[in-house]
Structure 1
Amino acid sequence: MNKYKKVAAIAWGVWLGCVGQAGAFQLSPSGTEAEREMAKKYGVSYKASVPLMSFALHSFGDSAHEALTQKIYGCDGDWQYCNNPNLEDAGAYVIAGVRWNDDPVFMPSAEDAKTKGCDGRYSVGFISQTRCWVNLFEEAEDKSAVDPMAFMGTGNYIARSHFGDLQFLHAMASQEGDPAEKTKREIMMWAEFAWGVADGTYPINTYLKDIRIDGWDQHFNNGQTVQDLFAVGRPWLRTNVDKVALGSLLHLVEDSFAGGHVQRREEILGDKCMDGTQAVLARIEEFHSYARQNHTKHKDADASAVARLMLMKHEPDVVDAGKKLRGFAVDGKKWADVRPYLDECVFALAKQTSPASAGDQYK
């Protein structure tokens, strides 16, 4: 079997056998032309497309995330038009951030370079080191199936964000049975950090271990900086890491409206937040856990067709929420001004919540 076919087969196997993975609204498999051009200046080759593997890993099947984000940034065309990741409405840096939650960057270890087909000179990414990415993903899948705690606070970011303690990046609980309040605290923790990077509170040279946010040190206590987290091996992103961080927050908000991630009740007419000035966006009854979900049902719920229906189902919807956050960013608002909107309006919990489970529709 040649190298390409072997990688394709691995990817197909991952798709068929996903267990315990936190997914997301799906992403374009090819990234953006702008980022590929910027990468070339630094000798990094980004593939224009990834045949078969584009569809094998559900998080990279289509561009639902990009379409939602382009609409947030003013794309007023139909869905087919707005799902082009190369549109300039949001721009390459925000889109890079939107992709980051599913495809977080990190440098491969020396062992990974020897055994997983990774090139130690470059950071790992799905469209820059596809074979490495798939091999690391498959390894994490296998380990987490045997030990669900394997990547709780340890391991590479592919493993931790899809199978471990960082699943809150997708608005999902890290473990079955987690109370909704716990997952919301972790979501708000990340939101505070991402906003702090976006507004300049945490410059790019800030060490993660020096950040003082409740619960932060349980997840990020190593010697990395903000630059290492968002842009290691990708110098073309560094001068715009604020936009990357904002894109990451938008990804999290978008995922919280995906049925496989979060169970929201219908909006209640007149349910207001922020001293009655804003509408509550469908209160949250449960954050789901992927561990016992049917992966096909989860994947289907993350597709563009479902995202389009989601926009019709909610009023206000996730695009409205994203536009509100974008406006806060343009106005230079600090976390103290942004927090009430996310806490009371976007991630408001219902009066009765359930511990994390697969969700009745996704078992």
Structure 2
Amino acid sequence: MADHQEPIFTPTSGYESIIYIYNKTKVDFALDSSKAILGSWAKGCPPNTIKAGAQALIQLNDSFGFSGSQGEVVYELYHPSDPDTPLSFKVEFCDPYGRWNDNYLRTKSSNPKLVSCQVLDYNLTGHPFTGHVEVYLTENSANDMTEAGNTPNETNGDAHAAFEIGFNGPLGIKIRDPVHEDIAIAAFIASKMRFPKGTEYNNLDAAQWEYMRGLLWSDDPLCLLFEDSRESNSELALGEKFLGDFYAGAPSSLTQRSHFGDLQFFHAMAAQSNDDPNETKANMLSWLETIYKLAIGVQDVRETDSLADRFPTRFSSYSDPSGDASLRQLFLGRTPSYRKANISKRAFGHCLHMVQDSYAVGHTLRRLANPGDLDGKDGEGFFRFKPGKFARLGPVITFHTYSGQSKRHAHYDESKQSRSPRDLESFNHIIGARDAIDKSIKLINLYAQKTKWEDGVRDFFANEVFVLDSKATLSNPQVYERFGSPDTSSQSTLEADLFADEEYQLGMERKMTMLESGLAFTSRVPSESQFRCLEQLSRRCTSPILMFVKLLLGFIAIACAMILGQFLFRGFRLA
């Protein structure tokens, strides 16, 4: 029998809606969309996956205690006989405020002959509102339902319509905007390891949270932001331990080293100003080789390996954690109790974080490939792009350092505008986010196929993600001073050099052609390359001549107009 998903129940006192969905099928349900019309979702709701044979709780809280709750969810599933055609069902529910309004719970199926939803008896009055829905899948082949599939169902349209540390603190208080998590979720949705399209930060399940724990590990490597719980991997602590270590921790602490010391490459940053970019890149690749191999689990790295063996220059008896600690202990930090910890997923989440950070303006200066899409600066002096456009970033010019940066660093890591992981355009306003998502998708696909480090993963990191510009500079803390300027925009200087080489070769071919064509009246047939050179030469020569002719004709036209004007003016005066 399938394991039941543990519902996350929040104590209620008002007009909450508490809906139980029972999956009576042999396939999983994936959240397609959700809408809180009145009220706010409880933590973990609506769940983004309802496992086969399991039940799930959907709780919509009454925000003010007197406004009521009203919402809807759409789940997607696939019939075993036709795994390429999505089916869906919609659940609508309401616990309205007011003694004269009734509760309601109704369902709609995109194809009732295949997906059957049964609403069990519920009370029309009373608060909070509790309802139960059972969902069944017929054993009939989907191919036998062609007629039903071709006949539009009246509810089908409705069913388908409709970079800093980011986390929500205790009592739902938002401490930081979860930009990293949203970027990762967006990438997973679009990858071969698809998250359900309706997945958001608030409804991640425990298995998906293991990736997020690795994603957050880069910022909180001792796991001080989380409670050491045996049953939960997403229970956040008050945060005072993390803040204490961040602001006043020992230099040997992993928190201090990763944010201010030799391990700043966790964030695609240099250890100090004036560091060689090649050294920073080498540190990142060396670290990632071990961590990625640990993530895929099919190479020579095991979670029981000691830190001193794998990183002898990074960990010793004086570091925290010490060199005797294992890779598993490294990623568990101060939270070793969780019984379902997945070190592979946490290691991979850390890899994703490094990729994402490398595209954040506060971490690196990259060559801007589309300066024409810039729309100046906003009222606070921050760069912005034209509507519908976003930054396209190229090679790394400079790795930044955290020490010495102004508070403007945070602006480019955060987002005041709302985002939806299923809508990539909602990330356009965050400079570097679209590139971070694109590269994260590629890395997830490599991970999904368990591609070995030497079979393309190293090249992906070295020559695509962390590739250095031909005019890369020493590290500095200057976040935005050169971003978008002429010397850091358009095509990379490497590409420009290649273009210059091509122009040089073309110039030599033209000279040779001109010399050889000195025997203009011989019967020798010019080669194809000579034809090409002559054609380009003639275009470049005739272009200035045509421009001169046009200007000359323009002057003549103006002169004629002036003479004609004087003649007419004299005629009017004489008249």
**Range that drifts further, 96-105 or 299-308:** 299-308
| C-alpha contact 1:102 1:161 (8 A) present in aligned 2 | yes
| C-alpha contact 1:64 1:83 (8 A) present in aligned 2 | no
Partner of 1:20 in structure 2? none
Residue 452 (structure 2) aligned to one of 327, 334, 348: 334
**Could you tell me how far apart the structure 2 residues matched to 1:96 and 1:72 are?**
16
Partner of 2:167 in structure 1? 28
1:256 and 2:358 are equivalent in the alignment? yes
Deviation at 1:220, TM superposition (A): 2.6
SS across alignment from 2:201:
coil
Residue 347 (structure 1) aligned to one of 466, 473, 482: 466
Partner of 1:234 in structure 2? 336
Partner of 1:102 in structure 2? 219
Dislocated runs of 4+, deviation >4 Å: 119-122, 310-315
Larger radius of gyration: 2
Residue correspondences, number = 273
Deviation at 1:26, TM superposition (A): 3.8
SS across alignment from 1:351:
coil
Matches within 5 A, 1:149-164: 151=251, 155-164=252-261
- Structure 1 residues 197, 209: closer, same or farther in 2, change over 3 A? same
1:220 and 2:315 are equivalent in the alignment? yes
Partner of 1:192 in structure 2? 289
SS across alignment from 1:246:
helix
Partner of 2:72 in structure 1? none
**Could you tell me how far apart the structure 2 residues matched to 1:68 and 1:121 are?**
26
Write out per-residue CA displacement over residues 31-89 of structure 1, whole angstroms, 9 at most, x where no aligned residue.
xxxxxxxxxxxxxxxx454x5xx54xxxxx1110010000010069xxxx765253359
**Could you tell me how far apart the structure 2 residues matched to 1:164 and 1:264 are?**
23
1:93 and 2:210 are equivalent in the alignment? yes
SS across alignment from 1:286:
strand
1:138 and 2:247 are equivalent in the alignment? yes
Residue 204 (structure 1) aligned to one of 284, 303, 325: 303
SS across alignment from 1:284:
strand
1:68 and 2:183 are equivalent in the alignment? yes
Q: TM-score, normalised by structure 1?
A: 0.66
- Structure 1 residues 48, 156: closer, same or farther in 2, change over 3 A? farther
**What residue identity is the alignment partner of 1:284?**
V
SS across alignment from 1:263:
strand
Partner of 1:298 in structure 2? 409
- Structure 1 residues 82, 121: closer, same or farther in 2, change over 3 A? closer
**What residue identity is the alignment partner of 2:326?**
T
**Could you tell me how far apart the structure 1 residues matched to 2:447 and 2:246 are?**
34
Deviation at 1:132, TM superposition (A): 2.1
| C-alpha contact 1:97 1:247 (8 A) present in aligned 2 | yes
- Structure 1 residues 285, 159: closer, same or farther in 2, change over 3 A? same
| C-alpha contact 1:73 1:89 (8 A) present in aligned 2 | no
**Could you tell me how far apart the structure 1 residues matched to 2:203 and 2:229 are?**
27
| C-alpha contact 2:268 2:354 (8 A) present in aligned 1 | yes
| C-alpha contact 1:65 1:98 (8 A) present in aligned 2 | yes
Report % sequence identity.
27
**Could you tell me how far apart the structure 1 residues matched to 2:440 and 2:413 are?**
18
Which blocks of at least 5 consecutive residues in structure 1 are unaligned? 1-23, 31-46, 56-60, 108-118, 141-149, 269-279
Write out per-residue CA displacement over residues 197-228 of structure 1, whole angstroms, 9 at most, x where no aligned residue.
101232221111122xxxx3221341110111
| C-alpha contact 2:214 2:346 (8 A) present in aligned 1 | yes
**Could you tell me how far apart the structure 1 residues matched to 2:228 and 2:448 are?**
38
**Could you tell me how far apart the structure 1 residues matched to 2:189 and 2:413 are?**
22
Deviation at 1:240, TM superposition (A): 1.1
**Could you tell me how far apart the structure 1 residues matched to 2:432 and 2:228 are?**
46
**What residue identity is the alignment partner of 1:171?**
A
- Structure 1 residues 229, 98: closer, same or farther in 2, change over 3 A? same
**What residue identity is the alignment partner of 2:167?**
S
| C-alpha contact 1:267 1:314 (8 A) present in aligned 2 | no
SS across alignment from 2:480:
helix
Q: TM-score, normalised by structure 2?
A: 0.43
- Structure 1 residues 29, 167: closer, same or farther in 2, change over 3 A? farther
Greater relative CO (CA pairs within 8 A, separation 6+): 1
The structure with the largest strand share of the pair is 2
Deviation at 1:318, TM superposition (A): 1.5
- Structure 1 residues 357, 85: closer, same or farther in 2, change over 3 A? farther
Deviation at 1:305, TM superposition (A): 4.9
**Could you tell me how far apart the structure 2 residues matched to 1:157 and 1:290 are?**
15
**Could you tell me how far apart the structure 2 residues matched to 1:72 and 1:88 are?**
17
Deviation at 1:313, TM superposition (A): 6.5
| C-alpha contact 1:25 1:255 (8 A) present in aligned 2 | no
SS across alignment from 2:397:
strand
